[in-house]
Amino acid sequence: MSALQTFLLVVDHDRQEAMQIAERVAQDVENKTTTLIEVVQSLVEYINDEDPILRGKAVSYLTAVIKALPPKFLSRQQVQVLTTFFCDRIEDGGAVAGLDTLQKLDRFNKDLAEEVARAIFEHFQELQARSQSQRFQVYQLLNELMSNHRSALYDMGDESLNGIVDLMTGEKDPRNLMLVFSILKVVMMEWDVSNYAELLFDSVYNYFPITFRPPPNDPYGITSQDLKDRLQDCISSTSQFAPHAFPALLEKLDSTSPNVKRDALNALIACINSYDPDTVSKYSITIWDTLKFEVLNAQEEFLSEMSLQALQSIAKRLSEGVTQITDQLPLAHYMRPIAKECNEQLQEPQQKQAKPAQQILSYMSAASVASFTLAVQAVVAPLLTIYQEADGIAKQRALLDTLVVLFESAIIVFGEWTTRTPEMNAENPLFEFKDQFSDMFGQALMGVVKEEVSFRVSALKGLLRLSTLRNFFQDNEVGLFVQYLDEILLKEESVGRDDLKKEAISALAEISKHKPKLIMDITFPAFVATLPDFDDGTGSKYLTTLEILAQISVEKDIFDTLVRRLLSKLNILLQKEQPGSAEYPKAILVTILYVMSQRKMDQDSNLELYYNKIVVELSRNVAACASGKAKNSILNDPSLLDILGRLHNLIVRSLPRDKQDEIAKNIYTLYCTEDEFAPVPFSQTANDDQQRTMIVSTYLLAGLPTDCAFLPYTRPNMSGLLSDTTKRTVTNCEPATHIALLRHMALLVNKFLVKSELNIATDIFNTLLPQQAGEVTLSPETIMTLFWLSKALVLRLAPKTTDILTSLLSLLSSTDEVTSTTAARGFSILLRDDDVLSPTNGANIRLLAKQRVFTTLVPLISSRIREVNIAGSDTPTPQYIKPAHLTALSGILATISPALVMPELPTLLPLLLQSLDLQTSDSQAVRAATLETLAVIIRDNGVGVIEECGHVQSLVSRLLKTTEFKPTSGNSAPVNSQRLRVDALKCLFLLAQTPSADAPAVAKSGKLSPLLPVKSQVLRSLRFVLDDPKRDVRKAAVDARGAWLRGVDDAPDDEE
Amino acid sequence: MASEMQNSNPTILNAADLPTRLRPTSSNKLGLFGKGLFAPTLLAAEGTGLPFTDSYSSADSDSDGDLLEEPIDEQEIYDLVSTISDPEHPISLGALAVVSLPDISIRPTLPNVPASPLRTVTVLITPTITHCSLATVIGLGVRVRLEQSLPPRFRMDVRIKEGTHSTANEVNKQLADKERVAAALENGTLMAVIAKMLETCQ
């Protein structure tokens, strides 16, 4: 059997085998054992067969052989002969693939390409009738010809144009269309289409709008957006389509479907951007007349915005190359009706239609310098006239707002002072009105009654825009505005929500970016002058001033000056015999802390200076104060030390390594010699004032890197330092000092204790907590120490984590009620985010720590509570045990992310419900935490999860119970505080509000809302909550009731 | 409903100019330590450390506040109805000045019985144009909102403000007639319109 016969036999069921046969033949041809002519001749008996399938297979054989030949093997003549052969046989399967192989060869020339193309065009009807994949082959061949032999097709001119259009007519498959559109785009852009514009346009526009939606799991990955993009490229490819494209697209805007309109607008914008400006100009007014309607009667926000973009694009195109602005410009023709419309709508600028008119103005004027100039010429003068004649302040205000819109466009066109782009040569048309604006806005800001806040805010915004607009105001004009702002902030009384003052502050901050010198020269001295030397208790407003200063000190120079001035104020205070209240120095420090935290301190060039002035000097002062050698005792104030510590901490973190080492050595000595100040650790005689310096030391310690080698008292190991610190934490001392000591210990254990020495910490834990915890009574200080120590260990997931947690839990079952309840509250310490032991400070916090604590403790708590519940009266457990466990639980819940809670919900929900049953006034905190957790669970997951656990009814009735207001006699706190009532109402609101993910599906399946059985109960109860004495509660009740009325559907009526 | 807009270009009040309640806490926020700009910084400074005292003291401050009763006043009624949207525009009744604070009053229902807790709320509606056929719908919307949001001891009286509507008497009669209100609320289409109006209520 010949190779051909074998091929014909196997090709249907074993493609690989068939290919191998072809390869063998190809090799023979290559080795000259047979010739190509012989191969072709062998086909003779089959290619004239009646059966088209057999003919196709025979041609495929030849194709396969050619494909297997090396690309340079075929001579020019052979290529020619084969091409002619395939072209003759193009209706037979396999020929197209053969041609595709041939056209890739170097020896394939332009004439041949023409021949192939002609063959395709001549047989387009047969080719159209083929299957999708074969049509795809044809398009691919054409596409290849287009990219490799474009000139051949181009020279065919109309013939190829018509041929391609004929070929693709009726094509529906998205994969083929992708190719067709890209082939057509070449024709549209490069061929002379003047005689065929309509034909070509119609051939693609037939497909508009694309409604194709890919099937699920579409292997080809063609989205409808891909098709839309390619189609849009075709439509916008040549200006010659304009007479067809614009009317057709504008007509599509009559469609009722927003998606069709969106596609039409997108295509419209593409056309505007790609057609030449003359063409666009011809249709500009028509487009405006249609799009006007879309903007003025906006149905959908995005349609209006796209229409505005289209209008703006026209203005941009028409501005191209415009240097001289005259009435005769196409742009001027286009803008005229638009400006007229805007002027008409803006006659009554406070009415609804003025808003879209403002938007049109905004988009048009921002398009280019030319369009801005034309817009200003057309509208500003009429606006000013309306302003003069306006009878009400509301109208004037709306006019100011309109002008502000123009100013914003001016900024887009001309830039701000800080804009880096090259400056425009064109003159700003607003210059003509500069003085008028200045007077008008100045008058509006400063010359009206103080109560017209929103009017003045509009004026302020206008002046701010003009002040930042590049090369517009002179410095003295901006300066005047800055003075206005100073006056508003310093002299005016507060009105309402102080909107004007807030705006004034942000305006100053904004100006400080553009004109820092003005702020330094005008605002800064004026404000600093109002700062007192000390707080004489006469209610000076230094805090407001400091707040404002902090907010305007954005620029480096201003920031720098502010810090220096404040530090010198502080130093004066420290030298005073009678410095007044510590609140003032504290406020100064807070201000410095605030401005520093707003900046990237590690890149600040003055960092070294701040280190010396703040960390070193103030630490010395603290030490002096603690040993009673200072002029006053300001630096003995614990909250002041706390702020100072934070400031230290911030600076320490930003410092380079060598400075940090220096700090490490001075943590306890505070840069003093032995004689000046005795460090606290190991001191037997440290009094309260001295101990208080540990606040500062702790913050310094927190800022140091983990691997710091110069920590005092850590050689050979930390056990001495740790046990000294622990000794201080278990004794009673001032709260602020106490918490600092606890954090100090926690930092040492969590951050600096090396892993091999962890046993030092666990030993301390075991010493503090005897094994028989049930019997002991521990002091609150000891319990706190235990919890902080555990916190430090648990966060780094020390090996003994589980043991530690279990021991802590056993404290709750202590026979001593105080120990039990104090420990219960301690659980909130474990995972609470701490400012000092924080990731920012490099604390060792493992990702899974929270999860570990939760999954360890919850089952234990749950089973313990069950025990208590079951035990009943036989073996009475003390009353406080159950609330203590619930408190511990709430402490943990409040400090972990709700995502961790979800898997445990079935265990947890009964516990949460039991927490809500604690109807006593001292269980408020527990119930508040519970409600918060519940709110998050409901908000994230809907009512479905509650229903799955079967607790809807019990949850709702407990929530309702918590919403009740029960007047109490005397001074005892009510059972449900205001906050609890509001939180419970919020949960009820969320229950009805949050749609479960599968809501529509449920609705369809006719399943009723799980809330329906309780709906009437809820509505009835809430009706009485509406009469709660507290407004916030009533508000929450209104919302909750509204949600239940709206969100919980009744059973569908029978007739529906 | 009406296919043509009856008033396509009404005047709109600025949201910032609408009457709002000034919270005692927010009125002095510039001056107070811890309420202003530095609050986050300070909160962090003061709140953290003392887990045995903080957050448990909140109950105390609450109970202090609980003694102070805040009765339902005109502003509260205004807040309830001003966020209803107009059936024609996606704009609130407050911004359109259809309802305004001075046109809301709360009086004892039985002035002769001082101990009676019953109150009557009167809300006067000002339609944007005098021939607005949607006035009845707006009136119904306000009524429904109040009935859903006020306790049982309140009686509603929703009327068109005198001289602002050509058929005010007709509309008022309809709004005051319990039977007709109830009948209207049975009407599915009408309720759908009202539900849409109430959607924006916050």
Instruction: Choose the weakest-confidence range: A653-667, A825-839, A982-996.
Output: A982-996
Residues in A 563-602 with any Cβ partner in B closer than 8 A: 583, 587, 590-591, 593-594, 597
- Rounded Cα distance between A343 and A359, Å, is 13
Instruction: Choose the weakest-confidence range: A35-39, A555-559, A618-622.
Output: A35-39
Q: Answer whether residue A1030 is part of any domain.
A: yes
Q: Which residue has the tokens 């984590």?
A: A801
For chain A, the distance separating the N- and C-terminal CA atoms, rounded to the nearest angstrom, is 76
Helix (H) or strand (E) holding A236: none
* Mean per-residue pLDDT, A252-281: 92
Looking from the CA of A264 toward its CB, the CA atoms found within 13 Å total 24
B56, pLDDT greater than 80: no
**Given an 8 Å threshold on Cβ–Cβ distance, is A925 in contact with B56?**
yes
Q: Answer whether residue A344 is part of any domain.
A: no
The token pair at A461 is 């915004």
The token pair at A854 is 């939760």
A683, pLDDT greater than 50: yes
- Report the pLDDT value the prediction gives residue B23, as an integer from 0 to 100: 58
- The domain spanning residue B129 has which CATH number? 3.30.300.130
The token pair at A706 is 């983990």
Residue A214 φ then ψ, to 5°? -65, 145
Q: Which residue has the higher pLDDT, A752 or A93?
A: A752
A425, pLDDT greater than 80: no
A286, pLDDT greater than 90: yes
- Report the pLDDT value the prediction gives residue B40, as an integer from 0 to 100: 57
- Rounded Cα distance between A710 and A651, Å, is 18
- What is this structure's pTM? 0.80
- Report the pLDDT value the prediction gives residue A969, as an integer from 0 to 100: 63
Residue B107 φ then ψ, to 5°? -130, 155
- Report the pLDDT value the prediction gives residue A1056, as an integer from 0 to 100: 35
- Report the pLDDT value the prediction gives residue B30, as an integer from 0 to 100: 35
**A847 and A988 inside one domain:** yes
- Report the pLDDT value the prediction gives residue B55, as an integer from 0 to 100: 36
Looking from the CA of A709 toward its CB, the CA atoms found within 13 Å total 2
Asked if the C-beta of A921 comes within 8 angstroms of chain B's C-beta atoms, the answer is: yes
Distance from CA of A261 to the nearest CA of B (A): 21
Strands B119-125 vs B154-160: parallel, antiparallel or unpaired = parallel
Domain count, chain A: 2
Nearest to A494 among B30, B44, B72 (CB): B30
- Report the pLDDT value the prediction gives residue A1007, as an integer from 0 to 100: 64
Please report, rounded to a whole number, the percentage of residues in chain B having pLDDT higher than 70: 74
Collect all residues of chain A within an 8 Å Cβ-Cβ radius of residue B91: 352
Residue B154 φ then ψ, to 5°? -105, 140
The token pair at B14 is 């600025």
**Given an 8 Å threshold on Cβ–Cβ distance, is A925 in contact with B195?**
no
User: For the purposes of burial, counting CB atoms within 10 Å of the CB of A575, is it exposed (0-12), middle (13-18) or buried (19 or more)?
Assistant: exposed
Q: Which residue has the tokens 């009485």?
A: A1024
HEC secondary structure over B106-173 = EEECCCCCCCCCCEEEEEEECCCCCCCCCHHHHHHHHHHHHHHHCCCCEEEEEEECCCCCCCHHHHHH
Q: Are the beta carbons of A196 and A160 closer than 8 angstroms?
A: no
**Given an 8 Å threshold on Cβ–Cβ distance, is A544 in contact with B30?**
yes
Collect all residues of chain B within an 8 Å Cβ-Cβ radius of residue A780: 52
- Report the pLDDT value the prediction gives residue A993, as an integer from 0 to 100: 79
Positive/negative CA dihedral, A30, A34, A39, A40: positive
Distance from CA of B44 to the nearest CA of A (A): 7
Q: Answer whether residue B90 is part of any domain.
A: yes
Other Cβ atoms within 10 Å of B5 Cβ, number: 11
- Rounded Cα distance between A484 and A153, Å, is 73
A996, pLDDT greater than 70: no
Strands B104-108 vs B119-125: parallel, antiparallel or unpaired = antiparallel
Nearest to A639 among B45, B62, B66 (CB): B45
Q: Answer whether residue A615 is part of any domain.
A: yes
Angle between the N-to-C axes of helices A583-597 and A556-575, in degrees from 0 to 180, rounded to the nearest 10:
160
Please report, rounded to a whole number, the percentage of residues in chain A having pLDDT higher than 90: 49
Q: Answer whether residue A935 is part of any domain.
A: yes
Asked if the C-beta of A249 comes within 8 angstroms of chain B's C-beta atoms, the answer is: no
Instruction: Choose the weakest-confidence range: A915-929, A1003-1017, B17-31.
Output: B17-31
* Mean per-residue pLDDT, A505-529: 92
Q: Answer whether residue B4 is part of any domain.
A: no
Q: How confident is the model at residue A408 (pLDDT cuts 50, 70, 90)?
A: very high
Positive/negative CA dihedral, A894, A898, A903, A909: positive
Q: Answer whether residue A55 is part of any domain.
A: no
**Given an 8 Å threshold on Cβ–Cβ distance, is A978 in contact with B65?**
yes
Q: Answer whether residue B104 is part of any domain.
A: yes
Distance from CA of A134 to the nearest CA of B (A): 53
- Report the pLDDT value the prediction gives residue A310, as an integer from 0 to 100: 95
Q: Which residue has the higher pLDDT, A900 or A357?
A: A357
Asked if the C-beta of B188 comes within 8 angstroms of chain A's C-beta atoms, the answer is: no
Collect all residues of chain A within an 8 Å Cβ-Cβ radius of residue B24: none
Q: Facing residues of B156 across strands?
A: B121
- Which domain range does residue B167 map to? 72-198
Q: Which residue has the higher pLDDT, A540 or A588?
A: A588
Q: Facing residues of A535 across strands?
A: A580
- Nearest residue in A to B147, CA atom: A1023
- Report the pLDDT value the prediction gives residue A772, as an integer from 0 to 100: 64
Q: Answer whether residue A554 is part of any domain.
A: yes
Q: Which residue has the higher pLDDT, A757 or A919?
A: A757
Length of chain A: 1056
For residue A838, CA distances in Å to A595, A765, A796, A852, A1053 come to 21, 22, 12, 18, 58
Q: Which among A19-23, A644-648, B90-94 has the top mean pLDDT?
A: A644-648
Asked if the C-beta of A452 comes within 8 angstroms of chain B's C-beta atoms, the answer is: no
Of A674, A692, A710, which residue constitutes the final position of a domain?
A: A692
For residue A941, CA distances in Å to A858, A906, A937, A944 come to 21, 14, 6, 7
- Rounded Cα distance between A673 and A648, Å, is 20
Instruction: Choose the weakest-confidence range: A7-16, A336-345, B169-178.
Output: A7-16
* Mean per-residue pLDDT, B27-52: 45
Residue A972's region, left for phi above 0, alpha for psi from -120 to 50, else beta, is beta
Give the ranges where A815-923 is alpha helix by DSSP (H): 817-831, 849-871, 881-893, 898-901, 905-916
Which residues are within 8 A (CB) of A498 and not within 5 positions of it... i.e. 6 or more apart? B29, B30
Q: Are the beta carbons of A708 and A751 closer than 8 angstroms?
A: no
- Report the pLDDT value the prediction gives residue A1, as an integer from 0 to 100: 60
Of A677, A692, A707, which residue constitutes the final position of a domain?
A: A692
Q: How confident is the model at residue B42 (pLDDT cuts 50, 70, 90)?
A: low
pLDDT in tens, A345-392: 999 888 888 999 999 999 999 999 999 999 999 999 999 999 999 888
Q: How confident is the model at residue A451 (pLDDT cuts 50, 70, 90)?
A: confident
- Report the pLDDT value the prediction gives residue A22, as an integer from 0 to 100: 85
Average pLDDT, chain A: 88
Asked if the C-beta of B146 comes within 8 angstroms of chain A's C-beta atoms, the answer is: no
* Mean per-residue pLDDT, A1000-1026: 77
Q: Which residue has the higher pLDDT, A262 or B199?
A: A262
Domain count, chain B: 1
* Mean per-residue pLDDT, A946-964: 89
Positive/negative CA dihedral, A282, A284, A285, A291: positive
Cis ω before B152 (30° cut-off from 0): no
Instruction: Choose the weakest-confidence range: A175-184, A954-963, B6-15, B147-156.
Output: B6-15
**Given an 8 Å threshold on Cβ–Cβ distance, is A454 in contact with B16?**
yes
- Rounded Cα distance between A1019 and A865, Å, is 33
- Rounded Cα distance between A1044 and A275, Å, is 56
What would the DSSP string read from start to end of A896-960? S-HHHHGGGHHHHHHHHHHHHT--SGGGHHHHHHHHHHHHHHHHHH-THHHHHTT-HHHHHHHHH
Identify which of A519, A523, A457 has the alpha carbon closest to the alpha carbon of residue A489: A523
* Mean per-residue pLDDT, A799-811: 92
- Report the pLDDT value the prediction gives residue A414, as an integer from 0 to 100: 92
Asked if the C-beta of B54 comes within 8 angstroms of chain A's C-beta atoms, the answer is: no
pLDDT in tens, B162-190: 888 888 888 888 888 888 888 888 888 88
Mutate which: A594, A1038, A1041, A1055, vs B, most B CBs within 10 A: A1038
Eight-state DSSP code of residue A423: P
Q: Which residue has the tokens 């310093």?
A: A490
Q: How confident is the model at residue A202 (pLDDT cuts 50, 70, 90)?
A: very high
Of A673, A692, A711, which residue constitutes the final position of a domain?
A: A692
The token pair at B91 is 């704009």
- Rounded Cα distance between A622 and A635, Å, is 6
- Which domain range does residue A992 map to? 822-997+1007-1047
Q: Which residue has the higher pLDDT, B28 or A588?
A: A588
- The domain spanning residue A936 has which CATH number? 1.25.10.10
- Residue A315, SS3? helix
- Report the pLDDT value the prediction gives residue B35, as an integer from 0 to 100: 42
Which residues are within 8 A (CB) of A24 and not within 5 positions of it... i.e. 6 or more apart? A3
- Report the pLDDT value the prediction gives residue A998, as an integer from 0 to 100: 46
Q: Answer whether residue B154 is part of any domain.
A: yes
B45, pLDDT greater than 50: no
User: For the purposes of burial, counting CB atoms within 10 Å of the CB of A831, is it exposed (0-12), middle (13-18) or buried (19 or more)?
Assistant: buried
- Nearest residue in A to B64, CA atom: A973
**Given an 8 Å threshold on Cβ–Cβ distance, is A353 in contact with B50?**
no
The token pair at A488 is 């508003």
- Residue A710, SS3? coil
Q: Answer whether residue B25 is part of any domain.
A: no
User: For the purposes of burial, counting CB atoms within 10 Å of the CB of B151, is it exposed (0-12), middle (13-18) or buried (19 or more)?
Assistant: middle
Q: Answer whether residue A592 is part of any domain.
A: yes
A341, pLDDT greater than 90: yes
**Given an 8 Å threshold on Cβ–Cβ distance, is B48 in contact with A835?**
yes
Q: Which residue has the higher pLDDT, A188 or B65?
A: A188
B1, pLDDT greater than 70: no
Q: Answer whether residue B61 is part of any domain.
A: no
- Report the pLDDT value the prediction gives residue A1002, as an integer from 0 to 100: 46
